[in-house]
Amino acid sequence: MSVHACPGPVLGLAERPDTLTNVVLEAVRSAIVNQELLAGTRVTEAGLARQLNVSKTPVREALLQLREIGLIEPDERRGGRILSPSRTTISDAYEVREALEMFAAAAAAARAEERAIKRIHRIAERSLRAARAGDLEEFKDADDEFHRAVAASAGNQRLELSIERSLTLVSALRQRDVPGPAGSIECGQAHIRVAEALGTRDADGASRAMSAHVRHVAVLVLAAYDERHDESGSSVRLPLTAAR
C-alpha cells in the first residue's frame, strides 16, 4: 500500500474551549474523518505543530491520545501513521465496544442512581422519537448521549474512559469509511430495551440488550463496508457474537 507524505495545507483550529490539547486532538480527528489527512499518512509532532501553528507539547499529548484511541498507529517515537481502512479494523473496534458496553450496562443496572436511570430512559425515548421523525442529527446527538450516559452510570471512571475512546474510534471509522445512516429506528428501539432493563435493575437483561444492540449495528456497518468497498466476493469475518 502506498504511503502518503504529510500534506501541505494548513489544518484549521476551532475556537479554544477546555485545553489546547483537546483542540488539537479534535482538529486532527476531524482531518482524519474528512480525509484531509489520508489513510497511511505519516504525521509527526513537528509537522502538525507547524500546520496548526501551536507548540509541540499539545500535539504530543493529542497524538498519544489518538494512538490510545486507535486512529493513529505508532511509527516512530514522536510520530505515527493514520489508520488505514479495513474490515478487520471495524470488526475489532465493534467487538471491543460490545464487550465494554455490555459490562457497563450490567454495572449501571446495579449501581446507577434512580435519577440517572430516568435520564437514560428519557434520552432513549428522545432517540426513538428523532429516528421515527427522520431527524438524523437529533438522533445522532441522542444516540451519543445515551451511550455516554450509560457508561457514566456504571460507576467506574476507567471503564467510562475506555468506552469514550471506543465510541470515538467507532464514530470516526464510520464517518470516514462507511458514511451514511444505518438503522436508526432499530437503534432507538434498542435504547428503550436497555433503559427498561436498567429500570428494573435487571443486570443480565441490560447486558444482553446492549450486546444485541451493538452487535446489530456492527453487522449493518460491516455489510455497508462490504458493499462500499466491493468485498462481497472475498473472505469476510463477522463479529464473533454476530454468528451466534
Residue 222 has pLDDT above 60, yes or no: yes
| pLDDT one-digit tens code per residue, 9-57 | 556 555 444 589 999 999 999 999 999 999 999 999 999 999 999 999 9
C-alpha cell at 93: 473496534
| pLDDT confidence bin for 180, thresholds 50/70/90 | confident
CA angle 204, 208, 212 (to 5 degrees): 175
Residues 6+ apart with CB under 8 A from 25: 61, 62, 65, 66
In this prediction the pTM is 0.83
Quickly count: other Cβ atoms within 10 Å of residue 17's Cβ: 9
Residue count of the chain: 244
Distance CA 206, CA 212 (A): 10
| Domains of the chain by start residue, with CATH | 20-82 (1.10.10.10), 87-239 (1.20.120.530)
How far is the C-alpha of 225 from the C-alpha of 122, rounded, in Å?
A: 32
pLDDT for res 174:
93
The residue-averaged pLDDT of 148-173 equals 97
Instruction: Give dist(CA 150, CA 120) in Å, integer.
Output: 7
C-alpha cell at 9: 495545507
Q: Does 148 score more than 50 pLDDT?
A: yes
Class of residue 98 by CB neighbours under 10 A (exposed 0-12, middle 13-18, buried 19+):
buried
Q: Looking at 134-180, list the stretches that DSSP marks H as alpha helix, in order from N- to C-terminal side.
A: 136-152, 157-177
Residue 69 in grid coordinates:
484511541
**Quick one: cell of 236?**
469476510
Task: Provide the strand spans (E) within the chain.
Answer: 42-44, 72-74, 79-82
